[in-house]
């Protein structure tokens, strides 16, 4: 059940990023609010409206899944690997 929610969230985020950004770099730079080179769960949540109803815990699990260094945040390489096929 939780895996299905994570997959659905992944699909929703890919669509939203693809419809709002022309490149992975543009998306990353826009979402990395403090310009530290990483995107956190909080950074992603700031860019979506409350009515999007993104569950913090599901997003945390998704970010943790995409984070190859297991630091709780996504660097550009992981972000690109995750969304590179969705953003053209």
Provide the pLDDT for residue 49.
Answer: 74
Full 3-state SS string of 24-87: HHHHHHHHCCCCCCEECHHHHHHCCCHHHCCCHHHHHHHHHHHCCCCCCCEEHHHHHHHHCCCC
Q: Encode 34-46: b = buried (16+ Cβ within 10 Å), e = exposed.
A: eeeebbbbebbee
State pLDDT tens for residues 26-45: 999 999 989 999 999 999 99
pLDDT given at position 80: 95
Instruction: Establish if 88 belongs to a structural domain.
Output: no
Give the total number of structural domains in the chain: 1
Query: Does residue 22 fall inside a structural domain?
Result: yes
pLDDT, residue 1, reads: 64
Task: Tell me, yes or no, whether 44 lies in a domain.
Answer: yes
Q: Which domain holds residue 11?
A: 2-83
Query: Are residues 35 and 28 in contact, defined by beta-carbon separation less than 8 angstroms?
Result: no
What is the CATH number for 49? 1.10.238.10
Tokens of 6: 């994570």
Residues of the chain with pLDDT under 70: 1-2, 51, 88
Question: What's the pLDDT score for residue 13?
Answer: 92
The pLDDT of residue 47 is 86
């Amino acid at each position: 059940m939780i895996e299905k929610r994570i997959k659905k969230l992944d699909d929703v985020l890919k669509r939203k990023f693809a419809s709002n950004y022309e490149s992975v770099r543009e998306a990353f730079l826009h979402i990395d609010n403090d310009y530290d080179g990483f995107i956190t769960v909080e950074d992603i949540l700031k860019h979506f409206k409350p009515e999007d109803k993104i569950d913090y815990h599901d997003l945390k699990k998704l970010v943790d899944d995409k984070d190859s260094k297991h630091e709780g945040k996504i660097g550009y390489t992981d972000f690109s690997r995750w969304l590179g096929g969705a953003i053209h």
